[in-house]
Amino acid sequence: MENAVSEKLILSALEEDKGQLGDITSINLIDKNHKSKFELTVNENAVLAGLNIFKKTFVLVDKDIVIKTNLNNGNPIKKGDIVCSLSGNTLAILFAERTSLNYLCHLSGIATTTQALVELIKHTKAILLDTRKTTPNLRLFEKEAILAGGAKNHRFNLSEMILIKDNHIAVAGGVKNAIFTERKFYKDKYKIEIEVQNFDELKEAISCKPDIIMFDNWSVEDLKIGLKLIPEGVLTEVSGQISKENIKYYAESGVNYISTSYMVKNSRWIDFSLNAIC
């Protein structure tokens, strides 16, 4: 299923780049049967991600394009490294070039930023999670990049688990009522996580013993106090305004999970070059 979804997304991106007439520059300069060899080089230190998407983009354009590499997603790469070589029809490679590189640059950027955060908390037991704040239609790819960077995925979509947030609590008439209503309907079918914004909501949530309590936008100092109230068997998560500057202190509080969209929102593209060598 994931493979079919990824192919559909890539084909849509290729169609966007193709336009109505295709590559009007290349078709006038290059014979349709011309073959070339290219090398993909990285121009800065990074963590590689999206290599599978990069390769699939070329194969969807021309299944006869040959791509050779000894690297995998999650591998560290250094400035000047040759990531892979490509050989095949020149027009096909040039057509897929920009779309494939866009994926690779973007996803490697996310993986690189993710690893930087993971390094900052590796001395603790806290696990870094992503969120659903992803680029529309790129969630599958971006969450794969986050895995490549060493973090874990939170729920992929709304169907995977119950996460009661502030608006749910407001509409349901409070923390207890929200948890009770979900539990009554679903029984034990799904884990229940609830977001709390202050100590009153925290104490109300604790009395209901959900599976996970998320401290939303709590200071490190208040989080430490709140964690002391958590009974055994209830997991904890903190989210909101997490950054490179403060993630270490949140992790050292003893919380189980830190969820953030920082690695998607604050990553920058990694610079790669694809050059013809013959």
Provide DSSP, 73-134.
Answer: TT-EE-TT-EEEEEEEEHHHHHHHHHHHHHHHHHHHHHHHHHHHHHHHHTTSS-EEE--S--
DSSP secondary structure string for all residues of 176-223: HHHHHHHHHHHTTSS-EEEEE-SHHHHHHHHHH--SEEEEES--HHHH
**Taking CA 128 as the corner, what is the angle to CA 213 and CA 167, rounded to the nearest 5 degrees?**
40
| Contact (CB, 8 A) for 262 and 117 | yes
Give the DSSP H or E segment for 245. Answer: none
List residues with catalytic annotation: 133
